[in-house]
Chains A and B, each alone.
Chain A
């Protein structure tokens, strides 16, 4: 009997020491530990969730369908070139996912099908309609999500966030978690923008160009385009340049008529960096093309001297300077009344590359650092007050046995924190609630046993016999009652989002550890008291 108690005490001692070692990184004491300790002993502890330390939780959807559309357009324009090169007479038109080729001759058909195995015929007749095969479309969507993930990772690395989490979810979603970001809006803009850089030639020759209004108010763009839609020449489009009046802050949109076909695109860039204009001390982004891009840039500028070249990012014109002469060397500048941060972010997205398709934001949960701090403080206070209240109640109601139950309660809290730290579990605000509830529920096992013991005492048993049979009879009840809580905790863990998972973790750990503290912890204290001398009266 005595030996058994000794083992129990050793077991409790070891678990407590382990719990303290694991939890140490979460306490200020860790700072004062020797270096070898900080390096080789557990040093991560419990991780704070985004809701407690502040930060962003974003979910984006990569619009894979658009990636397919973009690929379709690229196929169509290459096909057009190919037919021209092979001197095969044929018209290629593209609308959405359909590439329409006419005439429907065997010759044309052969060119398409020999060179584009991924296109399948959707319609035949006087015209041939081709589409990207379903298998290839799926592959494009999948790889566009992969590429987007990679691009976002690049952007965030360059933006500088410590310990970001970026991963794919489901078919086409990307989850981004950024702890402790000070300027959420800036981070969201940086991640979410497509950053498709294009250079297009301004069409000042068409009649409509001269008749365009100088500017419109934001929000009126679509109406203007609709109004003059039938007068826009084939192959042209209207995009807008944003002008901000520096004194009043008023925003105007300048319509510009452009040749739709981009002459150069951002994938030919080799570098982008922020420079400061010496004259106006205004930041701008200077870009450098790679060899192929530089050559193309030289050709394009050479062929379009005296015309305007528009620099377009995500369908917004940034500037449209007149080409004075052929530009060799492959350097260009993007100006646009940037602030320093804006210029810096633009250079980051240009370096990291464009997203393969636009992304749609599905979810954004941002918690400011001050709310997180307040929540932790409130949680601590509630936990302390809740514990004190339960502790006092147990002593008042069960006397000395209550003290033993309280000992088990403290053991429970210490082991719970230690277990969470050893798992590097994430503590969330609902998680704190889970701990506090677990404190309230923790004494239940002891209550069940104590009530049984009281029954046995009333039935006339000796204190020792009452303790033993109280334990035995209460065991299955305690077990049952724990399992039911664990079932709901498991379900919550399965379905819950981050914060609620945290709740499930603390509640289930708390309840499981409770089984140990009640059956091993409390019991051994009673055993110690019992083994010293035969107790005549049980303070319960």
Chain B
């Protein structure tokens, strides 16, 4: 039997205050990110902000600053560039403009054909999102997050006592906020696919937490004389290897996606990797301590 940790007996709940400080910081960053997103000061993807994104694949390598100069000289404003130099790909994003939708992409293709006549390109993808669709997608995303939270709360409330519901929800929120916060700090694009990743992370993190709670509930029934904190600690220790093994397998597939899944899924898999790590941490260090604090020192007296 290979075991990651032999009969672990770690006092996780004893470290709850350190964990609360760390998590508090992460959560605050996440909340700041949400405020910045809501007020339009974050790097919103064009699916939320509206605008035009075109990805070009050139035959020969092309320098980013040449493209920038070509576009600026032609009077294009308010755009940003991103490149994947290994495959000669350039992504041009233009925020919402006064121009009619669709014209921006024509303008850009014309400029590039004229300025780089001996470097042919193909247009990999074009995405044009009007302001109406952008705001609708923002609403949809917000709605989805709220719906997911309500769904999770209802399920946990149905399967567990209320204090467990609070612990699970806090831990889940914490994970989503942490990943969102880190993405915001890294200046990554906040877009639909990130929201998808965040909701998946919420689902995964909750799964992780529920497994621990199941064990705590079971043990509390059997060991009614022990201190709640002791029971919680040993429950976490009991399922620790499952927590780590499952996180590892999900991490393995997320890393496969990150390294080999192609450029479109790059940020998605990065978010998943972070989410799995944070989710595992919060399961151990956040979820149960919250239940303990919320319920008081001896909240689980005989029923």
Contacts and interface: CB of A to CB of B under 8 A. Distances in A.
A396 interface: yes
Contacts of A385: 256, 259-260
B253 A439 contact: yes
B261 A440 contact: no
Contacts of A93: none
Interface string A317-342: 00000000000000000000000000
A370 B57 contact: yes
Contact of B253 (A440, A488, A499): A440
Interface string A395-430: 011000000000000000000000000000000011
Contact of B262 (A185, A375, A448): A375
Given A361-B101, A362-B101, A385-B256, A441 B196 contact: no
By size class, the interface of chain B is: 35 or more
A444 B249 contact: yes
B101 A364 contact: yes
B291 interface: no
B193 interface: yes
Interface in B105-153: 106, 122-130, 132-133, 137, 140-141, 143-144, 147-148, 151-152
A87 B238 CA distance: 98
Nearest to B240: A451
A259 to B, nearest CB: 28
A176 B73 CA distance: 35
**Which has the most chain A C-beta neighbours within 10 Å: B192, B203, B242?**
B203
Contacts of B285: none
A364 B159 contact: no
Contacts of A488: 148, 151-152, 199-200, 202-203, 206
Given A362-B101, A440-B250, A484-B206, 17 more contacts: A185-B106, A361-B100, A366-B126, A367-B124, A367-B125, A382-B261, A382-B262, A429-B264, A436-B257, A443-B246, A447-B245, A447-B249, A480-B211, A488-B203, A495-B141, A496-B196, A507-B200
Given A393-B249, A436-B256, A436-B257, A371 B199 contact: no
A130 interface: no
Given A386-B256, A477-B210, A378 B155 contact: no
Nearest to B242: A451
Interface residues of A, number: 74
B253 A374 contact: no
B280 interface: no
Contacts, number: 219
Contacts of B269: 433
B192 A500 contact: yes
B101 A360 contact: yes
A307 to B, nearest CB: 34
Contact of A487 (B122, B124, B152, B208): B152
A105 to B, nearest CB: 45
Interface string B253-295: 1111101111011001100100000000000000000000000
A390 B215 CA distance: 26
A273 B255 CA distance: 57
Interface in B224-265: 238-239, 241-242, 245-246, 248-257, 259-262, 264-265
24 contacts: A59-B133, A188-B102, A360-B130, A362-B130, A363-B128, A364-B126, A364-B128, A370-B122, A379-B262, A386-B257, A393-B249, A429-B264, A430-B265, A433-B269, A443-B249, A448-B211, A477-B210, A480-B207, A481-B211, A484-B210, A487-B155, A491-B144, A495-B144, A540-B1
